[in-house]
Structure 1
Amino acid sequence: MHTRSPRYAALILFWLACVPLAAWAAPPTPDPAKLAALEAAIAAEDIKQVTSVLLMVDGQIAYEHYFNGASADTLHDVRSASKSVTAMLVGAAIGDGHLPGVKARVYDYFPEFTATHPVDPRLRATTIEDLLTMSSLWECDDENAFSAGNEERMYVTERWLDFALALPVKGFAPWMTRPQDSPHGRAHAYCTANSFVLGAVLERATKMPLADYAAQALERPLGITASRWNRSPEGIGMGGGGTRYRSRDLARLGALVLAGGRWQGKALIPADYVAAMVSAQASTGDGSDYGYQWWGLKLPVQGHETTLWAMSGNGGNYVFVIPDRKLVAVITSSAYNRNYAHPQSRRILTGFLLPALD
């Protein structure tokens, strides 16, 4: 899946929406030698702290293995991969009418805050899409320890929502790229507060706790019967990280995206929203694409740099969705805050799983 033209994206969207999982043919059998090599690398700790690897092709599980004490019933803490689920819930809320669309203004959902706090007009115009694409004008950057909105500063406050809504306007030093000069017209900065506020917006719009809406809109329809969502100190669902799912259920979430938001004949998320979610909406500092809380990673596949869309979380937790191969790959790992975590999980995909299908 190389860089896509609008026409190609439209064809992919049509294919995703029209081809049900049940209609797909039997998946190819992965090369057992490649999978044995993967298991040997994990056993020898050449690949460390991986807890599960699952490969779904054509809607069927082609490979599934658990490591380091995990099992099919383990609820894996997927950290920031939760952000991608929150983005899916935003799409579901648009589809069921709870949200009017991605251009809805964020501060409108918190009138008690705006009644007592002055808000810069530029921030007052912040939209749901700004949060989805990590391109709000809040001075918030989790990769900058000095940033006013760094997630670690939020975590030690009593009221996370007030912390986020009161963040100052971002300034752009001479060496920084301004939004108008950035790819897609957005200056991306990874900010967990964006995702947390999205969860708070969902709670206001649906009048339900985030975990309850997730169960109603996505989890129960997908047959997901076990999950765990965190909450902030003031009781707001944490849409930015720490959600726990079983590996097979992560695969179901990926399969829903692969199917254009449809599951068993019902549209759980609008197809056009899914297409936008896994299309380049911004560009990150490392050159990756960024959609609606989904990553478009540039990875080597068969000797060519290829954009692969994924949920991604600290520790090397991933759900990859590859439409042209009808493939979902789940990798869970507990290598939190380890510099080898993400490279080794990406290596599992590009060095073992995809070659096993070639």
Structure 2
Amino acid sequence: MNLSSLFSPLADLKLRSCLIRKQGRLIFEYYKEPRFKDQIAKINSCTKSILSALICIGMEKGVVPPPDTAISKFFPELRIKAEYRSVRDTSGHENGSDQRGIPDSRKLDITLEHLLTMSAGFEWTEFGGRNSFPTMTRTSDWINYVLDQPLSDLPGVRMEYNSGVSQLLSAILVQATGLSVAEFAEKHLFGPLGIESYQWETDPQGFHTGGFGLWLRPDDMLKFGQLYLQQGLWKNKQLIPAELIAKSVKPAIPAEAPRRGFYGWHWWVDSLSAVDYYYARGFGGQFIHIIPSLETVVVQTHDNRKKKEQPDIFREYILPALMD
């Protein structure tokens, strides 16, 4: 395994950083500039996998209910609106269930697991088309915006990438724990991992952004990946139950086209040449890859802000070098 051959392509592709840890030992370290080593930067949608970990911790502590729990437990307005619609239906008025903002009793079937696997069924286009994600961030109440979106599918049928459902999970965690998401993270995840430098954006109601908005150092991203590689064990303490780690990174639903592989609980799952791996993925080239069979964690960060397709650096360069 000659990883020194990676330096040239990583520099050409303008990566901000790349760290590789195998069997607990740092075997490769690259920074575009030395200052990036200690500088926090946006990890974008890798935030979703951090949130998944916090939900798992909450489940283990008994404050977050089981994954089959209906989200109406936390958003009772869904039930109230559905009951109001039922009265309207029986009175002979047209219910208009295909219009945005009209209560839909099918939303009562949405569970925590549907949010985690992005299969809640909301009609949503993250970017382009209806441009749901940018529209959400321009509203005064992100939670209401997401809950008011019509359903295009029954819950659990199809994955549709949706940062809005991540924001619902953030709000649920706050309701369940009585702490802000960042406070809960500091107490049960960041603190034990020694993550001290970070920033985390919030929505207009003060909920930390569940689908993006977290800033971390590359080495702290590596710690998080190592925690998952070690099945939730860190310095002889089980931070996340191994069974919840396994469930959260298990292929749960096929990824929506054109994405490849499967989706778990806010984790992507894929394979190359019979080597299975799972990963956190953020816009602009932010990744945390975990390859259990190789006992390896790989972190990539990038400053790419262009929407055009970029090479899959992990599959084209890094993983083949690790498998060599």
- TM-score category (smaller protein): 0.7 to 0.9
* Aligned partners of 1:74 and 1:246 also within 8 Å: yes
Q: For 2:281 and 2:125, how far apart are their aligned partners in 1?
A: 17
* Aligned partners of 1:278 and 1:294 also within 8 Å: yes
* AA at the equivalent of 1:263: W
Counterpart in 2 of 1:283? 254
Counterpart in 2 of 1:266? 237
Q: For 2:302 and 2:150, how far apart are their aligned partners in 1?
A: 35
Q: How many Å apart are 1:351 and its aligned residue?
A: 4.5
Q: Secondary structure of the equivalent of 2:118?
A: coil
Q: 1:342 to 1:208 in 2, by over 3 A?
A: farther
Counterpart in 1 of 2:296? 327
* Aligned partners of 1:315 and 1:341 also within 8 Å: no
Q: For 2:311 and 2:248, how far apart are their aligned partners in 1?
A: 22
2:140 to 146, 158, 161: 158
Counterpart in 2 of 1:294? 267
Give the gaps of 5 or more residues in structure 2. 85-102
2:217 to 222, 246, 254: 246
* AA at the equivalent of 2:269: G
* AA at the equivalent of 2:145: F
Q: How many Å apart are 1:124 and its aligned residue?
A: 1.5
Give the gaps of 5 or more residues in structure 1. 1-29, 172-177, 180-184
1:39 matches 2:12: no
Question: Aligned pairs, how many?
Answer: 303
Q: For 1:74 and 1:337, how far apart are their aligned partners in 2?
A: 22
Instruction: Using the TM superposition, name which of 283-292 and 187-196 deviates more.
Output: 283-292
* AA at the equivalent of 2:279: A
Q: 1:280 to 1:143 in 2, by over 3 A?
A: farther
* AA at the equivalent of 2:150: P
Counterpart in 2 of 1:109? 74
Q: How many Å apart are 1:225 and its aligned residue?
A: 1.1
Q: How many Å apart are 1:70 and its aligned residue?
A: 4.2
Counterpart in 2 of 1:317? 286
1:339 to 294, 308, 318: 308
Instruction: Using the TM superposition, name which of 197-206 and 285-294 deviates more.
Output: 285-294
Counterpart in 2 of 1:194? 165
Partner deviation per Cα, 1:84-109 (whole Å, 9 max, x = no partner): 11111110100111112111221211
Q: Secondary structure of the equivalent of 1:71?
A: helix
Counterpart in 1 of 2:97? none
Q: 1:291 to 1:342 in 2, by over 3 A?
A: farther
- Percent identity over the alignment is 28
Q: How many Å apart are 1:322 and its aligned residue?
A: 0.8
Q: 1:348 to 1:229 in 2, by over 3 A?
A: farther
Instruction: Using the TM superposition, name which of 277-286 and 116-125 deviates more.
Output: 116-125
Q: For 2:230 and 2:220, how far apart are their aligned partners in 1?
A: 15
Q: For 2:301 and 2:317, how far apart are their aligned partners in 1?
A: 11
When the two structures are superposed, what TM-score results if normalisation uses the length of structure 1?
A: 0.79
Q: Secondary structure of the equivalent of 2:124?
A: coil
Counterpart in 2 of 1:137? 121
* AA at the equivalent of 2:136: M
Q: 1:231 to 1:348 in 2, by over 3 A?
A: farther
Q: For 1:326 and 1:305, how far apart are their aligned partners in 2?
A: 15
* Aligned partners of 1:298 and 1:305 also within 8 Å: yes
When the two structures are superposed, what TM-score results if normalisation uses the length of structure 2?
A: 0.87
Q: For 2:229 and 2:276, how far apart are their aligned partners in 1?
A: 15
Q: Secondary structure of the equivalent of 1:72?
A: helix
* AA at the equivalent of 1:213: F
Q: 1:209 to 1:295 in 2, by over 3 A?
A: same
Q: How many Å apart are 1:163 and its aligned residue?
A: 0.4
Q: How many Å apart are 1:78 and its aligned residue?
A: 1.0
Counterpart in 2 of 1:122? 106
* Aligned partners of 2:52 and 2:116 also within 8 Å: yes
* Aligned partners of 1:130 and 1:136 also within 8 Å: yes
Partner deviation per Cα, 1:220-256 (whole Å, 9 max, x = no partner): 0111111111101221110101211111111111111
* Aligned partners of 2:60 and 2:240 also within 8 Å: yes
Q: 1:351 to 1:74 in 2, by over 3 A?
A: farther
Structure 2 matches for 1:27-66, cutoff 5 A?
Answer: 31=2, 34-35=3-4, 37-43=5-11, 45=12, 47-48=13-14, 50-66=15-31
Instruction: Using the TM superposition, name which of 319-328 and 336-345 deviates more.
Output: 336-345
